Amino acid sequence: MPEGPEIRRAADQLANAVVGQVLTAAWFSFPHLGPRAAELVDQRVLAIEPHGKALLTHFERGLSLYSHNQLYGVWKVAKPGQRPQTNRSLRVALTTARREILLYSASEIELLPTAALSEHPFLAKLGPDVLDARLSEAEVQQRLRGSRFAGRSLAALLLDQGFLAGMGNYLRSEALFEACINPALRPRDLDDVQIEALAAALLAVPRRSYATRGVGRRRSSGLRAELQVDHGEAFGFRVFDRAGEPCLACGSVIERAEHTGRRLYWCSRCQA
């Protein structure tokens, strides 16, 4: 499943295509939404923003489209009348005079009053978005020390969207490595220096991934492992997906385990 940086990059691309423009047409595949498409015609797209792994498209007159891609959903941008060739099922089409944004294969789609978004069952459970520029290290430290989260293993906690929305599997391994903290520990096991290091890493790693255009396919060469993206930029993995390879910091072998059904990587020396 795409993680916070990838969702935010997608939101940026969609926003660049249609924000500020007026919809000339709208279409939904789901029967319960189909009749409501007419409500969006002639409305301006105000913003497209992520919250964790959900995407929110805001329209004037107080409506917002909630969508969650899950594993298979994908947004595409096209010129009106020039839709891409694909075997995916089209779920949403929002058309302006210049561009059309298309959502394929997603199953979680709702049209809601913008004022009621905070009451949505999924959004209401989310913690602060890890890529929200307003989120500070002090706030993350406070959440780590709070009774709700302090007793849980970090390996599990960092996948809980109620802790920090937008965190995910590769971000979990990379943030723990950057902070030199073992994934089996709990926040209550950490001293103040470790809490501060972890809070800093939990913000820095996702923001670095977003700033360097996220991730794409993996490419390994000796001690170098990276994910190459279409733009020629890369976000380097230091532990994730590098089981059996030497640690880039100390040379020890990177280890791997399955935790909460997901792959987890760490260096047993750096993260003793």
Catalytic residue among 99, 152, 208, 262: 262
Annotation marks residue 258 as catalytic:
no
Q: Residue 160 to residues 40, 103, 143, 152: CA-CA distances in angstroms?
A: 34, 26, 12, 10
Annotation marks residue 262 as catalytic:
yes
Q: Residue 168 to residues 52, 161, 202: CA-CA distances in angstroms?
A: 10, 9, 11
Give residues with Cβ within 8 angstroms of 146, minimum separation 6: none
Alpha helices for 146-191 (secondary structure H): 154-157, 169-178
Partnered with residue 188 across adjacent β-strands are none
The whole-angstrom separation of Cα 123 and Cα 108 is 12
For residue 201, report the phi and psi dihedrals to the nearest 5 degrees: -70, -35
- Neighbour count for residue 250 (Cβ, 10 Å): 10
Annotation marks residue 76 as catalytic:
no
Catalytic residue among 8, 9, 53, 143: 53
Annotation marks residue 2 as catalytic:
yes
The whole-angstrom separation of Cα 57 and Cα 67 is 8
* Burial letters 143-155, b for 16+ CB under 10 A, else e: bbeeeebbeebbb
Enumerate the active-site residues: 2-3, 53, 262
